[in-house]
């Protein structure tokens, strides 16, 4: 059996002290606005955040129950084709571990202080290296919602995401990748609370279900300020998409590792099967995939 990734994410206990030092209670009002309700994703997609009522019937598989379509999007420019609403808003995104490879200054290097980290396309390194991570294309869209204000969009908030490459390795940390910073980036939410990243489909390593890490900050100006984190969580990817991607060239190690951890046995998502973190995914290996998740904070 393939040996586990060294120091793979070991749950909230692994870095609880770090989270406590950086987490603050959401108490800032982000301006007046009508309650947000986002249009459902187009039919045929898989995954998506389930409501508490559907959670009771959620299976151990990585496909969540389809949610209820909401009334309207915040504006006509909202990307309703890749975004779906929770059946019930008001459930905050579960708080999760940063993991050992955040690159945000809490455990070694701090990419958030580097010029060039604010970008949509995170496939290539920036700065002294221009190495590009190879893999099946993936577009990730997050919609940030303010639970304290009736789930109105968190316009102007910022998100930092990071994830492993197709071999399950992390830039800045793994051997040979210390001088690479690909698959890391920051974006600012628009008026609809939405932001999008272009990346590659992450690989699988032993001990974890395939995932993407993210931190939500109060604003772009606060991405390097300790204590300004509104949420720390992870996106779970779906079983169907993982199986399709890991059957392709370049993901051989992921194909071996993926069957070793289930969504319900994962030490991050396993407590509830990732029902509020399971992305809505559509697409194909040939054309690339899209993943969307609503993030209520």
Q: What is the DSSP string of 81-100?
A: TT----SSTT-PPPP----S
Q: Are 143 and 133 in contact (CB under 8 A)?
A: no
What tens digit of pLDDT does each residue of 82-97 get?
334 434 477 899 999 9
Residue 36: pLDDT band with limits 50, 70, 90: very low
Give the mean model confidence (pLDDT) for residues 11-23: 39
Q: Are 177 and 194 in contact (CB under 8 A)?
A: no
Give the mean model confidence (pLDDT) for residues 120-130: 96
Euclidean distance between CA atoms 18 and 218, whole angstroms: 18
Residues in the chain: 297
Between 61 and 289, the more confident residue is 289
Give the mean model confidence (pLDDT) for residues 170-181: 98
**In this predicted structure, what is the pLDDT of residue 58?**
34
What tens digit of pLDDT does each residue of 206-264 get?
999 999 999 999 999 888 765 679 999 999 999 999 999 999 999 999 999 999 999 99
Return the DSSP state at 25.
Answer: -
Residue 9: pLDDT band with limits 50, 70, 90: low
What tens digit of pLDDT does each residue of 60-82 get?
333 332 332 233 333 434 433 33
Query: What number of other Cβ atoms are within 10 A of residue 75's Cβ?
Result: 11
Question: Nearest Cα to 193, choosing from 30, 55, 8?
Answer: 30
pTM of the model: 0.77
Q: What is the DSSP string of 43-61?
A: TT-EE-PPPHHHHTT--SS
């Amino acid at each position: 059996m393939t040996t586990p990734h060294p120091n793979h994410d070991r749950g909230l206990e692994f870095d609880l002290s770090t989270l406590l030092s950086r987490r603050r209670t959401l108490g800032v009002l982000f301006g007046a606005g009508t309650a947000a309700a986002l249009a459902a994703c187009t039919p045929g997609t898989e995954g998506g955040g389930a409501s508490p009522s559907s959670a009771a019937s959620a299976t151990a598989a990585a496909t969540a129950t389809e949610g209820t379509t909401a009334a309207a999007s915040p504006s006509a420019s909202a990307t309703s084709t890749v975004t779906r609403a929770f059946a019930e808003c008001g459930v905050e995104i579960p708080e999760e571990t940063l993991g050992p490879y955040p690159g945000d200054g809490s455990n070694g290097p701090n990419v958030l202080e580097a010029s060039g980290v604010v970008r949509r396309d995170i496939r290539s390194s920036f700065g002294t290296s221009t190495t590009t991570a190879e893999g099946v294309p993936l577009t990730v869209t997050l919609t940030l919602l303010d639970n304290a204000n009736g789930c109105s969009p968190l316009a102007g908030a910022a998100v930092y995401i990071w994830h492993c490459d197709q071999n399950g390795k992390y830039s800045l940390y793994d051997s040979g990748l210390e001088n690479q910073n690909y698959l890391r980036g920051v974006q600012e939410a628009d008026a609809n609370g939405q932001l999008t990243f272009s990346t590659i489909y992450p690989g699988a390593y032993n001990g974890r279900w395939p995932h993407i890490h993210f931190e939500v900050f109060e604003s772009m100006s606060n991405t390097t300020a300790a204590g300004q984190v509104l949420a720390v969580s992870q996106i779970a990817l779906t079983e169907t998409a993982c199986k399709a991607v890991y059957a392709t060239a370049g993901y051989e190690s992921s194909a071996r590792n993926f069957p070793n951890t289930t969504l319900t046995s994962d030490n991050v998502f396993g407590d509830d099967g990732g029902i509020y973190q399971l992305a809505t995914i559509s697409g194909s290996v040939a054309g690339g995939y899209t993943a969307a998740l609503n993030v209520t904070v």
